[in-house]
Structure 1
Amino acid sequence: MNGSTNISFPIFLTANILSIVILSHGNCGPSRCIACYLVSMAAADLLVLIFEVIMHVLKEIYFPKSFLDYTSICCLTFTFTFISIDFSVWLTVAFSFDRSVSICCQKLRVKYCTEKTATVVIAIVCGLSAVQNMPSYFVNQPGNLIDNMAWIYVVKSDFYILPVWKAYLCLDTILTPFAVFFFISVFNALTIQHIVMSSRVRRNFREGIKDSEFENRRKSIILLLSISGSFICLWMLISICHACVQFTENQFYQTNNNDPFTIVEHTGYMLQLLSSCTNTFIYAVAQTKFRNEVKNMITCQYSQRIQKC
């Protein structure tokens, strides 16, 4: 996993930064409300890469036995990793709900689907993600004690035994990802049903005439299904691991790479990490104006380099 991370991390990092820059300019088509959600999702994915890859994987390769290995810092990194993951995940739910309201509830759309509302929703999601994952700071204990200094961390032995921790793990698993899967599926189903029904009516009235509204709705379906569908697919394996921990004696974060569950768990984490960069490529495929903005940025940078030479 470390080798693939070294190769793919610059691509993941560049993709999310590119999304933030282009969507922030507001020149690639989506309304300010949609752009607000998409920029926040890209920023949340960028945080996942920072805490999960830089502060965990790359730190072990390039900065071993540094101050980043102090137990207190490791526990903070562990906590902020899960906060950023939940922030990214529930923003996907919030975005799906916003698109469902926009398409299915025309009266509510005017008041809800605004940049101001989106900003408030994003702030609430961020706060709740932090509150939900604060207990994870106390899940770990020092792994080594060297010169009276606590180094690295390991999961507490009573984490899988004490009822309070078992309840927390169960609730956390229900909320992320299974509740997320449920809400995304429901919102998408309602949205698609409404679009299909209204499109049939419009097609009957405007047969033989090019309908720009129908084309816009078709693109909305593609964008929505691509974002939520890729999320569900890439999270499915680690979700199965979460369920297995609840009903079997398997445990997370084991180091035995010959254990089948550990192999599946690490593969699930790799796919989960991959979900932190897929949205940019989805925008590039689904949004013509986004592709044009990327081309313009690359062309501009190339032209500037030519002039300097």
Structure 2
Amino acid sequence: MSIADFLVIINDILLRTVSMMYFPRSFLNFTPVCSTTLVLAVAATLISVWLTVAFTLDRFLAICYPNVKAKYCTERTATVIMGIVSVFSCLISVPWYFTMAAEYNIDNIPRGCVFKQVFLNLTSWASFELLTISLMMFVPFFLLLWLNTLTASHVLMSGRVRRGFRGRNTGDNDPEMMNRRKSVVLLFCISGSFLLLWSTEVIHVLSVRVFATPYVNGTDFESVGFMLQVLSTCTNTAIYVLTQSKFREQMKSAAKYPIFLIVKLVKNWNT
């Protein structure tokens, strides 16, 4: 998930937004190139969202069905799911390449990317855009909400049973119960943040496609929706993973590794 989120930042922010705003004459602004970066940005966003759903499903099975944890919650299963999600996301993102047209020409070279009028007017393209948005927001959100609700219910029910065995007065001081309460809070934070950060973009798309509001590229509402959408690719990973001590240890190791390589190269060079 961290790699997928990082790819969203690279493709959607650096290669598309930043390059168009601050480096308009670079090769990244060629129409074929910026059309390709659009495809990559959509694919990376889909991968990020659906890996979050897959991770939530893994947690649901591990917590609510311990018997199947050893069979399905394995590294091999995770690898297969990541491969399926990545391939499917890339395939469904390819049609976005053909929605772009050149904004202007310099020395007979098409530059810039704007939506083709046929894309904005055809019902089939509108349906495809709504399908993409549904796969990015609606379907993942309801799956996350459903899985998190079932997981939270299971944790709360297990907590009541645990308090019954340990005694009513020991529940508040039980470390296991405190960890389970934190887990419930984290589960609902995932659903809430996902809904809030995607709602602006979804409202914008629905207002354009369903209510036929005139499409104005670059409005403040659209910009805010895009900003929150990109931010949503970071919050889920932060909530799920950055709170884990093992992940923090791995991040420290990753940060120290380049320094270790530089020190090793310096020692080899001196010897």
Task: Tell me which interval the TM-score lies in, with the shorter structure as reference length.
Answer: 0.7 to 0.9
Is the Cα contact below 8 Å between 1:78 and 1:137 reproduced in 2? yes
> Per-residue deviation at 1:51?
0.6
| RMSD after superposition | 3.0
1:194-238 deviation digits (Å, cap 9, x = unpaired)? 111111111111223875654554443344333343222211211
Given residue 213 of structure 2, which amino acid in structure 1 is its aligned partner?
Answer: N
Aligned partners of 1:170, 1:270: CA distance in 2, in Å? 19
The residue that corresponds to 2:263 in the other structure is: none
Q: Which runs of 5+ in 1 are unaligned?
A: 1-40, 256-261, 303-307
The residue that corresponds to 2:227 in the other structure is: 270
Given residue 286 of structure 1, which amino acid in structure 2 is its aligned partner?
Answer: T
The residue that corresponds to 1:229 in the other structure is: 192
Structure-2-length-normalised TM-score: 0.83
Identity of aligned residues (%): 40
The residue that corresponds to 2:262 in the other structure is: none
Is the Cα contact below 8 Å between 1:219 and 1:286 reproduced in 2? no
> Per-residue deviation at 1:242?
2.1
SS of the equivalent of 2:104 reads strand
1:35-74 deviation digits (Å, cap 9, x = unpaired)? xxxxxx1111100010111102221344221111111001
Aligned length: 260
Is the Cα contact below 8 Å between 2:100 and 2:113 reproduced in 1? yes
Is the Cα contact below 8 Å between 2:64 and 2:151 reproduced in 1? yes
Aligned partners of 1:223, 1:131: CA distance in 2, in Å? 32
Alignment counterpart, residue 114 of structure 2, candidates 148, 154, 159: 154
Q: Does 1:119 align with 2:85?
A: no
Aligned partners of 2:82, 2:20: CA distance in 1, in Å? 33
Aligned partners of 1:220, 1:212: CA distance in 2, in Å? 12
Taking a change above 3 Å as real, the CA distance of residues 204 and 58 of structure 1, as seen in their structure-2 partners, is same
Q: Does 1:71 align with 2:31?
A: yes
1:78-99 deviation digits (Å, cap 9, x = unpaired)? 1101110111111111111111
> Per-residue deviation at 1:162?
1.8
SS of the equivalent of 2:111 reads strand
Aligned partners of 2:35, 2:92: CA distance in 1, in Å? 15
Aligned partners of 1:217, 1:118: CA distance in 2, in Å? 25
Larger Rg: 2
The residue that corresponds to 1:172 in the other structure is: 132
The residue that corresponds to 1:248 in the other structure is: 211
Q: Which runs of 5+ in 2 are unaligned?
A: 260-265, 267-271
Given residue 244 of structure 1, which amino acid in structure 2 is its aligned partner?
Answer: S
Taking a change above 3 Å as real, the CA distance of residues 253 and 133 of structure 1, as seen in their structure-2 partners, is farther
Taking a change above 3 Å as real, the CA distance of residues 79 and 291 of structure 1, as seen in their structure-2 partners, is closer
Is the Cα contact below 8 Å between 2:5 and 2:44 reproduced in 1? yes
Taking a change above 3 Å as real, the CA distance of residues 285 and 71 of structure 1, as seen in their structure-2 partners, is closer
Given residue 128 of structure 2, which amino acid in structure 1 is its aligned partner?
Answer: Y
Aligned partners of 2:175, 2:2: CA distance in 1, in Å? 29
Taking a change above 3 Å as real, the CA distance of residues 174 and 272 of structure 1, as seen in their structure-2 partners, is closer
Given residue 166 of structure 1, which amino acid in structure 2 is its aligned partner?
Answer: A
Is the Cα contact below 8 Å between 1:75 and 1:153 reproduced in 2? yes
Q: Does 1:51 align with 2:11?
A: yes
